[in-house]
């Protein structure tokens, strides 16, 4: 059974908006679907059991005939700009019609390439297929922009990615150490579960405030939590939705949010959990490691002299 169908089983009924192959926790899904679609196009359809090499989402600016076209790829740091872009279709023209994904036609995720400065934004259409969003890149550096979209007529959901640079001097931040509890605005979020490359891993995030479990999380974009994972060093992208939805009669509004995620390789990932409580969306961030290979990927946070990749002894 290949990755897409395995995850499809988990995704049944809860991620239909993302399309069957994308599903829950499926960094590999879109690429697998692409491979299969190409095979189908070439006349073969029956090789679903063959494990194909998979390109994770977000690494390409153009995929399946659709291309992310930013109006500018240089943005002054610390200043609000009107960031504009289009997604151009196979005919070269901006796409104007999209299938909503979790209540929005387009999700824009921004992170600096050192995995700091995460933003999850929802641009609006300005007409003619042009998307616009007031955006501030707080500090200098190169940022990765991801758009989650499903253009009408596209076979699947796509995550297109482009670099945008905020010019100036900057020092990359070390990847924070892997800690089970993240704190944001007085909330503590605890991460339980282990990412195992190539298999579906259960992650449970527990939200507390002042030491007490939060049991009245609010739906945000049709879910109690959204989890984005970015792979350290190349920013391969994974967007996971929880197991269960608000209003399904069994999913509780906290304190636990359960995700099923599959990461494509060992190494370090930065996880960003968006959750809403008391009318505000907050992001809890974690560093998580998948597998044991590639240990040097975890750059020491405090005592680092910038040469954390050296192994002694």
Taking contact as CB under 5 A, which single stretch among the options 51-59, 99-107, 110-118, 247-255 is the one that binds Cu ion?
A: 99-107
Asked if 107 touches Cu ion (CB under 5 A), the answer is yes
Confirm or reject binding of residue 144 to Cu ion (CB under 5 A): no
Quick one: which segment of 28-36, 86-94, 100-108, 173-181 binds Cu ion (CB under 5 A)? 100-108
241 binds Cu ion (CB under 5 A): no
How far apart are CB 221 and Cu ion at their closest, in Å?
6
Return the number of the residue (107 or 241) whose C-beta is nearest Cu ion: 107
Tell me which residue has its CB nearest to Cu ion.
107
- Total site size for Cu ion, rule CB under 5 A: 1
Name which of 96 and 283 has its Cβ closer to Cu ion. 283
Rounded Cα gap, residues 63 and 74, in angstroms = 23
Q: Applying CB under 5 A, which part among 22-30, 40-48, 103-111, 157-165 lies near Cu ion?
A: 103-111
Taking the complex as a whole, the smallest distance from the CB of residue 102 to Cu ion amounts, in Å, to 7
Task: Between 70 and 267, name the residue whose CB sits nearer to Cu ion.
Answer: 70
Nearer to Cu ion, 107 or 289 (CB): 107
Which range, of 11-19, 102-110, 183-191, 197-205, touches Cu ion by CB under 5 A? 102-110
| CB of 120 vs Cu ion, minimal distance in Å | 5
- Nearest approach in angstroms of CB 100 to Cu ion is 11
Site residues (CB under 5 A) for Cu ion?
107
């Amino acid at each position: 059974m290949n990755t897409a169908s395995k995850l499809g089983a988990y995704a049944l009924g809860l991620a239909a908006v993302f399309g069957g192959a994308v599903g829950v926790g499926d960094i590999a899904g879109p690429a697998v679907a692409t491979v299969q679609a190409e095979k189908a196009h070439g006349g073969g359809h029956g090789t679903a059991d063959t494990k194909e090499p998979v390109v994770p989402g977000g690494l390409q600016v153009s995929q399946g005939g659709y291309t992310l076209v930013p109006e500018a790829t240089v943005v002054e740091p610390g200043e609000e700009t009107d960031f504009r872009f289009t997604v151009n279709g196979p005919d070269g023209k901006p796409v104007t019609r999209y299938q909503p994904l979790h209540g929005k036609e387009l999700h824009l995720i921004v992170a600096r390439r050192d995995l700091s400065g995460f933003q999850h934004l929802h641009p609006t259409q300005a007409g003619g297929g042009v998307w616009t969003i007031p955006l501030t890149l707080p500090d200098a550096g190169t940022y990765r922009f991801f758009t989650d979209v499903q253009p009408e007529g596209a076979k699947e959901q796509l995550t297109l990615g482009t670099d945008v640079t905020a010019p100036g001097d900057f020092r990359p931040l070390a990847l924070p150490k892997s800690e089970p509890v993240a704190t944001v605005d007085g909330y503590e979020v605890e991460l339980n579960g282990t990412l195992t490359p190539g298999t579906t891993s259960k992650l449970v995030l527990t939200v507390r405030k002042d030491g007490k479990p939060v049991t009245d999380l609010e739906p945000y974009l049709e879910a109690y939590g959204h989890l984005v994972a970015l792979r350290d060093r190349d920013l391969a992208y994974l967007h996971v939705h929880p197991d269960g939805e608000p209003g399904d009669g069994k999913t509780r509004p906290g304190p636990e949010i359960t995700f099923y995620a599959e990461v494509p390789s060992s190494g370090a990932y930065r996880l960003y959990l968006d959750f809403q409580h008391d009318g505000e969306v907050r992001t809890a961030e974690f560093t998580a490691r998948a597998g044991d290979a590639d240990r040097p990927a975890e750059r020491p946070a405090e005592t680092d002299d910038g040469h954390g990749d050296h192994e002694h002894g």
